[in-house]
Structure 1
Amino acid sequence: MGLPQIAPYPLPSETELPKARGPWIVARDRAALLIHDMQNYFLRVYAPDASPIAPVIANIASLAAACRLAGIPVFYTAQNGDQDRRDRGLQADIWGPGMTSAPEHQAIVAALAPQPEDFVLVKHRYSAFQRSNLETLMRARGRDQIVICGVYGHIGCMLTAAEAFQRDIETFFIADAIADFSRERHDMAVDYVAERCGVPMSTRQLIATLDP
């Protein structure tokens, strides 16, 4: 029970990304960026100066800066610490009690601190759409595309992508801005999204699409 320590592994390169079945192209006036669960508690299981987490943090910072400059809304998910067992639900059976409310657990990593114009949503389940107003906030701003980055690839990131698809939201999965339990799990998540619900991209590719 609880999170494993995660050994370093290399992130996938652009040439390793699978071809998506979906034909979608990111549009700056339709997209929203989701920075998923980049809290200290979830990142403490990585070697901080190694891949995947060091380049993932740098890539997410680049994505966030480019999206803010392009007028794309930036959303974060973050779990609350010291969750009541009744609210935590079945997650407690799989992962234990989870994080505390101490900053070394609950805070979003300092390098990716939200800006005043960003949205921070309370995370309740694997998918960012569960028990949140993410879709409502997106639709109110004319956003029907979501760009996903963060942790962990084969859990919350992948299931958020799958649920976005089921809500008719076009999904873009930034493969080198996502970290996972292992390269095997990482590749599985990217392959699933490509085949079933979204478009894998690199950070460079996503930023290039935002150029005026």
Structure 2
Amino acid sequence: MSEQAGSTLARYEGRDRKLVAARTAVLVVDAQNAELVPEVLAQYPDFDRALHGRALPAMKRLVDGARAKGVEIVYTVIESLTRDGRDRSLDHKLSNIHIPRGSHLGKVIDLVAPQEDDIVLPKTSSGVFNSTNIDYVLRNLGVENVVVAGFLTDQCVDMAVRDGADRGYYMICAEDACATYTDERHATGLRAFGGYCRVQDVDAVLADIV
């Protein structure tokens, strides 16, 4: 490639940029009643503490603050399209993950519940970009920047960040609005996918929305 041709290429300088509200969406991943099942919280005390002490309050600040700035709020939840779950992915069938269509367990947690005109996309895989039409929806909305929050940090949040980055979105993870079953897994997950996104706390994310 000639020097002249190379000089016409766009130059990208890291991940530090402001987030234009009209081009930004907050993606809330699996913040649903299934995460509040007492048996799960009893089995994973780190998750219980992180969920109620940090992640859900931070998620509410993120959703409320971003919405006030005109940012689109999009939710995804694990929920089958059918009552018997015949449409689930093979992985969900093998893992015995099934939340029937219309189940209370598939509803978003009240504290961060969607408003009347928000978009909620049911999925039956770890990756929202794999089992929903979110890519089509975000492009129709004119979204370029996606702020991810939700559960679990090292599973469905991880997949959303990586897949979104591969599809050309500028990804941001709101780290304090995410949680997983142990604190160690949360920290390890953030380190593992941090190369695909900008990792910030909610206050820093909100400060960058213009």
Q: TM-score range by the shorter chain?
A: 0.7 to 0.9
Deviation at 1:92, TM superposition (A): 2.1
**1:63-113 Cα deviation digits (max 9, x unpaired):** 11111111111000012254524524222213x142345754222111111
Aligned 8 A contact 1:57 1:111 in 2: yes
Aligned 8 A contact 2:25 2:145 in 1: yes
After TM superposition, the score normalised by the length of structure 2 is: 0.81
Deviation at 1:24, TM superposition (A): 3.9
Q: Tell me the distance in 2 between the aligned counterparts of 1:138 and 1:97.
A: 27
Does the residue aligned with 1:129 lie in a helix, a strand or coil?
helix
After TM superposition, the score normalised by the length of structure 1 is: 0.80
Map residues 4-153 of structure 1 onto 2, 5 A cutoff. 22-27=14-19, 28-44=21-37, 45-46=40-41, 51-54=49-52, 55-80=54-79, 82-94=83-95, 96-100=96-100, 103-153=103-153
Q: Tell me the distance in 1 between the aligned counterparts of 2:87 and 2:68.
A: 41
Q: Tell me the distance in 1 between the aligned counterparts of 2:28 and 2:22.
A: 18
Decide whether aligned partners of structure 1 residues 43 and 50 sit closer, same or farther in structure 2, where only a CA change above 3 A counts.
Answer: closer
Decide whether aligned partners of structure 1 residues 176 and 168 sit closer, same or farther in structure 2, where only a CA change above 3 A counts.
Answer: same
- Percent of aligned positions with the same letter in both sequences? 20
Q: Tell me the distance in 2 between the aligned counterparts of 1:59 and 1:147.
A: 13
- Structure 1 or 2: more helix by fraction: 2
Aligned 8 A contact 2:85 2:98 in 1: no
Q: Tell me the distance in 2 between the aligned counterparts of 1:134 and 1:24.
A: 25
Which residue in the other structure is 1:189 paired with? Answer: 189
Which residue in the other structure is 1:161 paired with? Answer: 161
User: Which is further off, 84-93 or 104-113?
Assistant: 84-93
Does the residue aligned with 2:65 lie in a helix, a strand or coil?
helix
Does the residue aligned with 2:108 lie in a helix, a strand or coil?
coil
Does the residue aligned with 1:51 lie in a helix, a strand or coil?
helix
Decide whether aligned partners of structure 1 residues 179 and 62 sit closer, same or farther in structure 2, where only a CA change above 3 A counts.
Answer: same
Decide whether aligned partners of structure 1 residues 200 and 208 sit closer, same or farther in structure 2, where only a CA change above 3 A counts.
Answer: same
Q: Tell me the distance in 1 between the aligned counterparts of 2:134 and 2:101.
A: 23
Q: Tell me the distance in 2 between the aligned counterparts of 1:162 and 1:51.
A: 27
Q: Tell me the distance in 2 between the aligned counterparts of 1:70 and 1:149.
A: 17
Which residue in the other structure is 2:6 paired with? Answer: none
Unaligned runs of 5+ in 1: 1-20
Map residues 201-212 of structure 1 onto 2, 5 A cutoff. 201-210=200-209, 212=210
Which residue in the other structure is 2:198 paired with? Answer: 199
Counterpart residue type for residue 99 of structure 1: I
Q: Tell me the distance in 2 between the aligned counterparts of 1:138 and 1:102.
A: 24
Deviation at 1:41, TM superposition (A): 0.8
Deviation at 1:172, TM superposition (A): 0.4
Q: Tell me the distance in 2 between the aligned counterparts of 1:190 and 1:92.
A: 28
Larger radius of gyration: 2
Deviation at 1:50, TM superposition (A): 5.3
Decide whether aligned partners of structure 1 residues 43 and 71 sit closer, same or farther in structure 2, where only a CA change above 3 A counts.
Answer: same
User: Which is further off, 115-124 or 41-50?
Assistant: 41-50
Does the residue aligned with 2:31 lie in a helix, a strand or coil?
coil
Deviation at 1:184, TM superposition (A): 1.3
